[in-house]
Structure 1
Amino acid sequence: MSNYDLFEKFRQYMKLRNFSDHTIEIYTRYLSDCFSLTNTDPTHIDEDHIKKYLSHLQQKHVASSTLNTAYSALKLYFGQILRRKFFIHIPRSKRPKQIPSVLSKQEVIRLIAAANNPKHHTMISLLYGAGLRVSELVRLKMKHFDFDRNRIFIEQAKGKKDRYTLLPTTLRKILQKQNTLKKPNDYLFTNPTDYHLTTTTIQKIIKSAAEKADIKKHVHPHTLRHSFATHLLENGTDIRYIQELLGHTKIETTQIYTHVAIRDTSIESPLDAVL
């Protein structure tokens, strides 16, 4: 069987497993990279070849999450397509325990204010006000807005899951205006060809606004999602409800924000008490 046939078999397997197009693309790319680096017939690749490829990625200083994604792609391919079992001897990369970077409420206000373009203003406001992933923002369609219930329907998000999140009342007017101008299946944010924007475009808009707002932290779209969750927690919102709004499968994923949220502002440093 040729490499092309093996790739097609892998893609077909992932489609039957209902993997997202993005995951299929990423997994296939890591597999192709591995084949190129090892320069070995796939049926002859062994544990040492895989370790060499993973070490190659590690030397490029990729994140642990990237390393583990490559690991998962290769394990799936060799385990399910070629029926090889050597992966049981290769440990996964240990992910460092990091707390998310969040903006203060004052920084959020400055960031939104820095977006002079109404379209950009709405993008940033939705990322923060609804706790959206950037991939969810770019795929929002007019039919996803429930103005009667002040909810946004997030269709087939990460993990092929649907959920509802909050529709900020401060955005109702501008979104309802768009609702009169667009059809239900139209994207909210479009390019000149009426297709949805890319996530890279949104990232550039956020970066530009952060620079204008003179925010020194590294700000990206997911920072606003982190800030949404943290500020809800600080306001006393039940963590289980936050989990539902974010679409987290495990409560442990949401609990990371308990390490960031300031729950009692009356606590002061002992230094302030002695000086």
Structure 2
Amino acid sequence: MKWEAKIIQYKGEKRIAVIFKKDAALIARIKEFQGARWSQSRVLWHLPDTDENRIHFKLPLLASTQPNSEGQQALEKFKQHLRSKRYSESTIGTYSEALRSFLVFYNTKPIAEITNEDIIIYNNEYILKNNLSASYQNQIVNSIKLYFATVQNRKIDIEKVHRPKRAKVLPNVLSKEEVKAILEAHSNVKHKMMLSMIYSCGLRRSELLNLKPSNIDSKRNIVLLKNAKGKKDRIAPLSPKILKMLREYYAEYKPTVWLFEGQTKGEQYSETSLQKILKTAVLKARILKPVTLHWLRHSYATHLLESGTDLRYIQELLGHNSSKTTEIYTHVSTKSIQQIKSPFDDL
């Protein structure tokens, strides 16, 4: 595990301690949590003890935050419905824990009597009053809407709830020179191959690890991504350079079940090990940015856009449902911006 979370007493207040080895990417991530603090004396990061943070770090909820018997039955029915619709266990966990918070708030009220007005009150008196994050608020609102529409079979007018505007966060992008330095940092063929595949095909971490040898079609120069995010199949083109590297890799490692296997044959390569490979490469490349694996995917999309690839094709290559998701790369592409002459140059 990358980190350990536990409840501590800090200056007379309950806090959530998050302990991990020094890692630039994790430090950057922990700083995004509201109220995050570094304790020099205890040598650890600590956060406010809230339901949201407990859920995020997989800590048990307080006894007072457990729903009553009706609420627990409602949660079980909700989980059963999500499983019947083949939602991933991760999504089921996120939605059910968000709904749990709402049901606890109305522990003394029968679910059948909950109205739109109750949801507005919950939004104002719990979410906003406790200064919970916008993303957590949206999770709760989405789970409430889905629960009442499916399990309760009645419509709740969610539009009356004031929902937060999503923060317009630009994706992190590396230059081609930085990407090259990272990909060439490892001498190990497998390590180099895994990072190269992520960048050259714009893959998500899970998509790379779920690849099987049969997913590589060398005659058509494509990789078939089966059951990717959103349970959709898609294809990505394979460059001649990548195909050559894959043949060299295959000849040396002879994978059986998975394209990239751990030390035991037939065992899927772990996410933790893959992250360590990137971390080592970034250090060797002497890049000080808190690079994550997803940065390589962002860089792939941005570099395609800068080389003139149509946004519609990039959307298909990345597997985005909406073109709006892909359009964010137009805001980080420097192709047009670099052509603008600063008035400072004329002074």
Q: Distance in 1 between matches of 2:168 and 2:238?
A: 32
Letter in 1 for 2:73: D
- Tell me the secondary structure at the aligned position of residue 268 of structure 2: coil
- Tell me the secondary structure at the aligned position of residue 167 of structure 2: coil
Letter in 2 for 1:258: T
Q: Provide the residue aligned with 2:343 in structure 1.
A: 270
Q: Provide the residue aligned with 2:85 in structure 1.
A: 17
Q: Provide the residue aligned with 2:20 in structure 1.
A: none
The answer to whether the 8 Å contact 2:223/2:237 transfers is yes
Q: Provide the residue aligned with 2:182 in structure 1.
A: 111
Q: Provide the residue aligned with 1:90 in structure 2.
A: 161
Higher relative contact order (CA 8 A, sep 6+): 1
1:77 aligns with 2:147: yes
Q: Provide the residue aligned with 2:314 in structure 1.
A: 242
Letter in 2 for 1:76: L
Question: Aligned-pair distance for 1:127?
Answer: 1.3
1:157 aligns with 2:220: no
The answer to whether the 8 Å contact 1:144/1:152 transfers is yes
The TM-score, its normalising length taken from structure 1, stands at 0.83
Question: Aligned-pair distance for 1:218?
Answer: 2.8
Q: Distance in 1 between matches of 2:262 and 2:108?
A: 43
Q: Distance in 2 between matches of 1:270 and 1:213?
A: 35
Give CA-to-partner distance per residue, 1:168-227, whole Å, 9 cap, x none.
Answer: 3222234235556234xx222233454434444433432342233222333111111111
Q: Which has the higher strand share?
A: 2
- Tell me the secondary structure at the aligned position of residue 278 of structure 2: helix
Task: Give the aligned length.
Answer: 268
2:258 to 187, 208, 211: 187
Q: Distance in 2 between matches of 1:57 and 1:196?
A: 42
Alpha-carbon RMSD = 2.9
The answer to whether the 8 Å contact 1:154/1:164 transfers is yes
Question: Aligned-pair distance for 1:271?
Answer: 2.9
Q: Distance in 1 between matches of 2:124 and 2:280?
A: 40
Q: Distance in 2 between matches of 1:57 and 1:133?
A: 34
* Distance of aligned partners of 1:142 and 1:57 in 2 relative to their CA distance in 1, 3 Å threshold: farther
Give CA-to-partner distance per residue, 1:93-131, whole Å, 9 cap, x none.
Answer: 210222212000011011112234332222211111100
1:221 aligns with 2:293: yes
Name which of structure 1's ranges 214-223 and 104-113 shifts more when overlaid on structure 2.
214-223
Give CA-to-partner distance per residue, 1:210-257, whole Å, 9 cap, x none.
Answer: 233222333111111111011111111122111111111222221211
Q: Distance in 2 between matches of 1:205 and 1:58?
A: 37
Q: Which has the higher helix share?
A: 1
* Distance of aligned partners of 1:245 and 1:79 in 2 relative to their CA distance in 1, 3 Å threshold: same
* Distance of aligned partners of 1:93 and 1:125 in 2 relative to their CA distance in 1, 3 Å threshold: same
Give CA-to-partner distance per residue, 1:141-178, whole Å, 9 cap, x none.
Answer: 11111111111111122222111112232222342355
Question: Aligned-pair distance for 1:50?
Answer: 5.2
The answer to whether the 8 Å contact 2:138/2:163 transfers is yes
Q: Which has the larger radius of gyration?
A: 2
Q: Provide the residue aligned with 2:97 in structure 1.
A: 29
Identity %: 40
Name which of structure 1's ranges 167-176 and 236-245 shifts more when overlaid on structure 2.
167-176
Q: Distance in 2 between matches of 1:74 and 1:192?
A: 44
Q: Distance in 1 between matches of 2:249 and 2:182?
A: 23
Q: Distance in 2 between matches of 1:176 and 1:189?
A: 13
Q: Any stretches of 5+ residues in structure 1 without a counterpart?
A: none
Q: Provide the residue aligned with 1:166 in structure 2.
A: 237
Q: Distance in 2 between matches of 1:177 and 1:232?
A: 26
Give CA-to-partner distance per residue, 1:248-267, whole Å, 9 cap, x none.
Answer: 12222212111221224554
* Distance of aligned partners of 1:220 and 1:81 in 2 relative to their CA distance in 1, 3 Å threshold: same
Q: Distance in 1 between matches of 2:160 and 2:138?
A: 15
Q: Provide the residue aligned with 1:130 in structure 2.
A: 201
The TM-score, its normalising length taken from structure 2, stands at 0.67
Q: Distance in 2 between matches of 1:267 and 1:241?
A: 27
Q: Any stretches of 5+ residues in structure 2 without a counterpart?
A: 1-68
- Tell me the secondary structure at the aligned position of residue 169 of structure 2: coil
The answer to whether the 8 Å contact 1:150/1:166 transfers is yes
Q: Distance in 2 between matches of 1:198 and 1:34?
A: 35
Q: Distance in 2 between matches of 1:197 and 1:67?
A: 35
Q: Provide the residue aligned with 1:231 in structure 2.
A: 303
Q: Distance in 1 between matches of 2:299 and 2:124?
A: 38
